[in-house]
């Protein structure tokens, strides 16, 4: 009974979201997440600063999760210095939470790497969405830049790129480096302080992430063709998460939504 | 100290994740997307974000879902920072009032 109620509610939420978006002019409202006009044609550093400013709320969202991950990692037996090594080399929060939960003695090395691949395979699609905008960039540079591509950097940068029809390296780096530093720093701090800090996510800070993603989603919304794949992704993600807690819902929901998108695009032509 | 097996795991994770990051770029190379693929690429990024969000929607707690509904509502009309503030404060308050 509870689950039926909840499903209804989720669906309602999505419908409200969809209705809101189709009703209003999204592009003008998205402008409040972007810098003033004076920075529009800036060079690298003005764009870098614009990226830094944009990333501030996201950084606030990163910190409680970084602290939590660091704390959980140490409790699971990851050494204090392995934590920033992991978050600095891997730099993908979902896969790191999964890895920390699987951490044991003896260490399931192959399992952890396999789960990392499954959770992060969405990056392939993300990179593919960004690739057309990197056509003029030398290959070696582009490959280096992509190291910083996390969900938030990618989403903010892509929606900015689509809006201006131009990829801004400075903006991408401004967001990318701020978030990278915040993530590695906060996970290390969490590991270092260990149980001395409580779980901040319990006080509502975990809502920071949905807030970030929902606002970005609003900016990505173009027409109603998107609503069905998005709803499919949500429903599949929710069901998979209920059945298999952890990050499995991410690849499952993404693939389900992508397949739905493929059907819709094929039918419309 | 870092043991060899944890170093190996972390290195493996890092390489794997980096390959997923450059994978999409390498697959497409410098090629342009077909109109159909472009249409797909308009839709798929949202699917990724929504799937990442799914656990929030799957929460069994009424207070969390109410907080989420408020956040969704705020996200449809406000900028990022106020949306976030409203989401955090309302969820925190709801949890404090209805533990």
- pTM of the prediction? 0.75
Residue A127 CA to its chain's centroid (Å): 13
Nearest to A90 among B1, B13, B67 (CB): B13
- A129 with B14: Cβ contact below 8 A: no
Nearest to B43 among A155, A229, A266 (CB): A229
For residue A37, what pLDDT is reported? 43
DSSP assignment of A185-213 equals: HHHHHHHHHGGGS--GGGGTGGGHHHHHH
For residue A216, what pLDDT is reported? 80
pLDDT > 90: percent of chain B: 55
For residue A4, what pLDDT is reported? 38
User: For residues B22 and A127, is the Cβ–Cβ distance under 8 A?
Assistant: yes
Nearest-CA distance from B48 to chain A in Å?
5
Nearest-CA distance from B67 to chain A in Å?
8
For residue A130, give both structure tokens: 């960004």
For residue A125, what pLDDT is reported? 86
For residue A166, what pLDDT is reported? 92
Nearest to B44 among A204, A210, A257 (CB): A257
* Rg of chain B, C-alpha, whole Å: 20
User: For residues A176 and A148, is the Cβ–Cβ distance under 8 A?
Assistant: yes
For residue B30, what pLDDT is reported? 67
For residue A41, what pLDDT is reported? 57
For residue A15, what pLDDT is reported? 36
Which of A128, A142, A244 has the highest number of chain B CBs within 10 A, making it the mutation to test binding with B? Answer: A128
Cβ neighbours of B13 in A, within 8 Å: 86, 89-90, 95-96, 99, 112-113, 116
Q: What are phi and psi of A130, to 5 degrees?
A: -85, -30
Cβ neighbours of A225 in B, within 8 Å: 39, 43
For residue A268, what pLDDT is reported? 65
Nearest-CA distance from B97 to chain A in Å?
12
Nearest to B91 among A126, A155, A204 (CB): A204
**Which residues have C-beta within 8 Å of that of residue A89, sequence separation ≥ 6?**
B10, B11, B13, B14
- Distance, in Å, from the CA atom of A54 to the CA atom of A63, rounded to the nearest integer, reads 16
Nearest to B75 among A57, A92, A218 (CB): A218
- B2 with A79: Cβ contact below 8 A: yes
Nearest-CA distance from B34 to chain A in Å?
11
Residue A18 CA to its chain's centroid (Å): 21
Q: What is the ipTM of this complex?
A: 0.86
Q: Per-residue pLDDT tens, chain A, 269 aa: give them.
A: 333 333 333 333 333 333 333 333 333 334 444 444 444 557 899 999 999 999 998 998 889 889 988 988 998 899 999 999 999 999 998 889 888 878 888 888 988 898 888 788 889 989 998 999 998 899 999 999 999 999 999 999 999 998 899 999 999 999 999 999 999 999 999 999 987 877 777 788 888 878 888 988 888 887 888 889 999 999 999 999 999 887 788 889 989 999 999 998 887 65
For residue A30, give both structure tokens: 């998205």
Nearest to A250 among B52, B86, B91 (CB): B52
Cβ neighbours of A215 in B, within 8 Å: 75, 78-80, 83
Neighbours of A15 (CB within 10 A): 12
Q: A–B: how many Cβ contacts below 8 A?
A: 315
Nearest-CA distance from A44 to chain B in Å?
23
A49: number of CA atoms within 13 Å, CB side?
10
For residue A8, what pLDDT is reported? 39
For residue A23, what pLDDT is reported? 36
Give the pLDDT band of residue B37 (cuts 50, 70, 90).
confident
Cβ neighbours of B91 in A, within 8 Å: 204, 206-207
Give the pLDDT band of residue B8 (cuts 50, 70, 90).
very high
For residue B52, what pLDDT is reported? 83
From A113, which residue of chain B is nearest by alpha-carbon distance?
A: B13
Q: Which residues of A27-59 are buried (b: 16+ CB within 10 A; e: fewer)?
A: eebbeebbbeeebeebeeebbbbbbbbbbebbb
């Amino acid at each position: 009974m509870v689950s039926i109620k909840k499903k209804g509610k989720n669906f309602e939420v999505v419908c409200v979201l969809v209705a809101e978006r189709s009703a209003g002019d999204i592009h003008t409202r998205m402008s409040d997440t972007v810098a003033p006009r004076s920075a529009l044609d800036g060079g690298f550093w003005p764009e870098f600063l614009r990226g830094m400013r944009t990333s501030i709320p996201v950084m606030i969202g990163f910190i409680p999760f970084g602290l939590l991950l660091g704390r959980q990692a140490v409790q699971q037996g990851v050494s204090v210095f392995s934590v920033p090594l992991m978050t600095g080399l891997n730099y993908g929060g979902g896969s790191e939470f999964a890895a920390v939960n699987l951490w044991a003695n003896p260490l399931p090395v192959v399992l952890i790497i396999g789960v990392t691949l499954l959770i992060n395979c969405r990056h392939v699609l993300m990179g593919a969405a960004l690739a057309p905008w990197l056509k003029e960039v030398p290959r070696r540079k582009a490959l280096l830049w992509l190291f910083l591509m996390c969900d938030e950097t990618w989403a903010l940068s892509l929606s900015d790129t689509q809006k201006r029809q131009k990829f801004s390296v400075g903006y991408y780096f401004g967001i990318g480096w701020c978030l990278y530093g915040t993530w590695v720093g906060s996970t290390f701090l969490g590991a270092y302080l260990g149980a001395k800090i409580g779980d901040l996510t319990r006080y509502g800070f975990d809502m920071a992430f949905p807030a970030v993603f929902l606002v970005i989603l609003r900016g990505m919304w173009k027409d109603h063709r998107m609503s069905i794949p998005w709803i499919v992704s949500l429903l599949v993600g929710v069901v998979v998460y209920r059945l298999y807690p952890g990050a499995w819902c991410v690849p499952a929901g993404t693939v389900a939504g992508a397949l739905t998108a493929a059907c819709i695009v094929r039918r419309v032509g | 100290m870092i043991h060899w097996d944890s170093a190996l795991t972390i290195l493996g994770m890092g390489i794997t994740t980096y390959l997923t990051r450059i994978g999409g770029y390498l697959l497409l190379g410098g090629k342009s997307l077909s109109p159909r693929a472009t249409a797909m690429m308009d839709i798929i990024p949202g699917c990724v974000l929504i799937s990442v969000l799914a656990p929030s929607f799957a929460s069994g707690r009424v207070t969390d879902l109410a907080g989420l509904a408020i956040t969704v509502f705020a996200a449809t009309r406000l900028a990022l920072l106020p949306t976030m503030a409203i989401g955090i404060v309302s969820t925190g308050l709801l949890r404090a009032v209805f533990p």
